[in-house]
Chains A and B, each alone.
Chain A
Amino acid sequence: MAISKEEVKYIANLARLGLAEAEVEHFREQLGSILGYIDKLKKVDVSKIIPMAHVLDIKNVYRQDTVLPSIDPQKVLQNAPSREGQFFKVPKVIE
């Protein structure tokens, strides 16, 4: 199945993934061949099948709404590439 360079760029933008021009062409080719392989699923009759997202019969898990200790914020913030006080710092969003 053929996929265009524009489609690869569109998808990469949705995934917030920067791609070099050479990568766009490289992935275009490879994705085309992987999607071609995946196309074999069209042969299966699934008209009466319910999609299975999960193997277990899982249900929502509830618990009491009580205050419990959480991880020390300093320990979490130590992994931030940029921080200020108790906050994660990011480039300016609003001009």
Chain B
Amino acid sequence: MNLNLLTAHELSESLRSAKITSAHILSDLKDRFDKVEPKVRAYARQPFFKKSSSRNSVDAQLNGIPVSIKDNICSDGDLTECASRILSGFVAPYDATVVKKLKEQGALIFGKTNMDEFAFGSSCENSSFYPTRNPWDLERVPGGSSGGSAAAVAADEAILALGSDTGGSIRQPAALCGVVGLKPTYGRVSRYGLIAFASSLDQIGPMTKDVRDNALLLKVIAGHDKNDATSVDIPVPDYVRSLEKGVRGMRVGIPKEYFVEGMDPEVRQALNDAKAKLESFGVQFGEVSLPHTEYAVAVYYIIATAEASSNLARFDGVQYGFRASHKSVEKEPALISMYKQTRAEGFGQEAKRRIILGTYVLSSGYYDAYYSRALKVRALIKEDFDKVLGEFDLILTPTSPSPAFKIGEKTDDPLSMYLSDIYTISVNLAGLPALSMPCGFTKSGLPIGMQILGKPFAEEDIFRLAFAYEQNTLWHKMKPKL
């Protein structure tokens, strides 16, 4: 058995009983990497094939387990370039809190995964390195922005991975690659050391081969952190222990606004089948309404770009990475020319588009019409969820309206790319936890994902439902032919 095919919980058992060593896992990962990485290109650069665990105590929860992390999460002494030219050569001077927690539990930081530049995108085509490809069909995108993490897990080039999710960037690639991805409740996981995109929406979360690994990894990275004032100080439950509590009597809402025209018929069918299966376990379903759904994408592209334009102001050629060899411009101070030319050469097209849109909606004269109005509609979107989750434990939806699309299909049409996040975006605006997991395949062999969303800090309920479903299906055992 090649160890790279196994889950972290399976490997942990064998590591504990000393049947295998961490070096075996790394060696099998290397063989797999050499074979499939030239096709998939899931990593931002060569991983670390020789690394020893920082901790060796028996109670460490991820002792000897390699973890792949997205290129926007800082790990001390490692290149962390956010798949952007403007951060080329940036070596993180400290560990993100999630990385510190992983190391404390004996995990190895194995490598950094590819992404859309600054997490701007839904396809991984906006990487300044190269596009990542979907392991199920190399002509198609893996989703994004955490497409590298999703593809690495799906292609068995990774055991566990971390992504980040601002509008669906963990869940949509998880769905398109057939893996399990969770966006935790806002405030559940520290953002310290995550290169910021939109600070009121960003969360780091686990991307794994099955639900048990997802629960295991969340338990390790969750918790309050004094370095992130928006992380919340409430106890972290034992997510793994709650998996087997059963689902009989759980109440799950299905929002009617999500099942509209434009949804792929095979996605609709897969969701209906999943619902029928869950009903047979005693789950009770009811139709619910989230009336402000149609405004979510518009609200998101105001708030997220406004916050991004502000967060990206720090990339100016002074402190990090890249500086253009600037030319002097008449009537412009040399420092201003340096800023402008560094940012012109350092940022890709999507980053520029978002900086301009974000600056526009915040600029004097437009602030009330766009930004302030978006914050108000955001409140209405959250109210919709509060009402439904007052009556139901969970909400079930598709993760993405269609399976993986072709590389290049949406690159010239930013609006159509934005609309591919239509089912995931509201969750970030409302700060809720949501998980995507495989629930079927199209006739052409592409994975389909379903999304389970829950009340704030009720990740346990999400895991219970996801685990019950996974125990009775084989989707998560399917492997792409590479």
Chain A residues proximal to chain B, CB less than 8 Å = 3, 7-8, 11-12, 14-20, 23, 27, 30-31, 33-35, 37-38, 40-42, 44, 46, 49-56, 58, 61, 63, 71-72, 75-76, 78-82, 88, 90-93
Contact = CB atoms under 8 A, between A and B. Distances in A.
Contacts of B340: 16-18
B298 to A, nearest CB: 5
A15 B356 contact: yes
Interface of B: 89-91, 93-94, 186-187, 200, 226, 229-230, 232, 292, 294-295, 297-299, 301-302, 309, 313, 316-323, 326, 333-341, 343-344, 347, 352-353, 355-357, 359-360, 363, 370, 372-380, 382, 414-415, 418, 429-431
A26 to B, nearest CB: 8
Given A17-B340, A55-B431, A31 B319 contact: no
B359 A11 contact: yes
B148 to A, nearest CB: 23
A9 to B, nearest CB: 10
Majority SS of interface residues in chain B?
Answer: helix
Contacts of B333: 91, 93
B352 A19 contact: yes
A37 B373 CA distance: 14
A46 B334 CA distance: 45
A31 B347 CA distance: 17
A71 B186 CA distance: 27
B91 A78 contact: yes
A18 B355 contact: no
A54 B378 CA distance: 9
Nearest 4 Cβ contacts at the A-B interface: A55-B431, A18-B344, A51-B375, A81-B323
B91 A88 contact: no
Contact of B91 (A19, A44, A79): A79
Contacts of A17: 340, 343-344, 347, 352, 355-356
Contact of A41 (B299, B336, B341, B430): B299
Contacts of B430: 55
A63 B200 CA distance: 22
A67 B17 CA distance: 45
Contacts of B292: 44
Contacts of A11: 356, 359-360, 363
Contact of A52 (B93, B317, B378): B378
A64 B108 CA distance: 34
B321 A53 contact: no
Given A46-B377, A56-B431, A90 B338 contact: yes
A93 B343 CA distance: 18
A79 B352 contact: no
B165 to A, nearest CB: 14
Contacts of A27: 352-353, 356
Nearest to A40: B298
Contacts of A34: 301, 357, 414-415, 418
Nearest to A55: B431
